[in-house]
Each structure stands twice: as structure tokens, then as C-alpha cells.
Structure 1
Amino acid sequence: MRLTQLFALTALAAAPAFAAEPPKLSPVPDIPPPPGMVDTAPAPDITITQRGEDKVEEYRIKGQLYMIKVTPSHGKPYYLVDPKGNGQMVRYDDLAPNLMVPMWMLFEF
């Protein structure tokens, strides 16, 4: 008997907590990135042209041509890349094995 009275008393005491309206939450403002962490690298300008049946994509940064991707109507696309920035283009059939992206371990858990 005492147990049911205790349960009823607890339920009555907790009723206002469930009936109360939840607090109004405001959205959290965006946090700016830390100084020196903003990516200031310019996005490449891409010019796509059609030469005959081939699609040619020219990639430039600050007006300097650094890569051309040629997609022929038949066959695999190939790339002409200026690795030294002197205007001498080198042909690559695939960018993966020839141009390795540097990868460093920043964090290890």
C-alpha cells in the first residue's frame, strides 16, 4: 500500500516537469576558422571547348595554363601537364601514378 502511495506521489510531483513547455533554443552562430587556416588558393579557371570530335578542357590559375584534359570521342582521355611552369607540356595517360599528392599524418588516434 505504501509503495503505491509513494508511486502516486512521485508521479504527481513529476507531472509539471512533463507538462512544461521546452525552452526556446536559438541557433548557434557559425564559428569563424582560426587565423591562418583559411584556404586562399585560387580556384582554377576551366575553359571547355570542342575541337572536332574531341572535348578539350584547359585549366588555368591566374591566367597561366597548367593542365589540359583531352577527351577524344573514342578511347580514354589523356592529360597534358606543365610540371615546371615553363610551358613545356608532358603527356600523361593517367594522373594517378605520375602525380602523387603529398600526404602527411596530422593526427593519430
Structure 2
Amino acid sequence: MPEKSAKDDTVQAEPQVTIIKKADEVISEYRLNGKLYMIKVTPRGGPTYYMVDETGNGQMVRREGEPALKPPMWVLFTF
């Protein structure tokens, strides 16, 4: 039976950023361990805004300006 290395059990430490350039805006998608958690939208001629998954349930909330620094949060128990 092959042994598992420590690398197999680690989580991704840095986000993966995908940049999509369109004629009227630039969209940056931020993923961590394959899960989309934030989208940065920079429209041409307008202010930058963010779509942020604040609870981890896939529902994005629009935020104007820079996102606030949030401490890490984990689900400890669910009922």
C-alpha cells in the first residue's frame, strides 16, 4: 500500500487568482482550495467593487471599495 506524503494532506496556502480581461472591465476571481470566495471587478471608468462570499455558502455580497480585513472563521458545530 503506497504511503501518503505530508504534501497530500496540506491545504493550499495561497489563493489562485484568475484574471479575465473584457473590453469594459477586468474581473479577478480568487479561489482557495478550488472554492471561489471573492471576485474583484474593475470597470473601465468606474470604481472598483468586490463580490465576497462572507459565510462560505456560495452567496456573494457586493462590497464597495477595499474589503475589510476579516479574521479567519471556521464552522465548529452545525445542528
Aligned residue pairs total 61
Moved over 2 A (4+): 99-102
Note the C-alpha offset of 1:59.
0.3
Q: Greater relative contact order: 1 or 2 (C-alpha under 8 angstroms, separation 6 or more)?
A: 2
TM-score, with structure 2 as normaliser? 0.68
TM-score between both structures, scaled by the size of structure 1: 0.50
Unaligned runs of 5+ in 2: 1-10, 72-79
Percent identity among equivalent residues? 46
Q: Which has the larger radius of gyration?
A: 1
Shift of 1:77: 0.6
Give unpaired runs (5+ residues) of structure 1: 1-39, 103-109
Considering fraction of residues, name the structure with more helix: 1
Q: Deviations over 1:25-47 (max 9, x none)?
A: xxxxxxxxxxxxxxx86100000
Greater strand percent: which structure?
Answer: 2
Two-structure CA RMSD over aligned residues (Å): 1.8
1:74 corresponds to 2:45 = yes
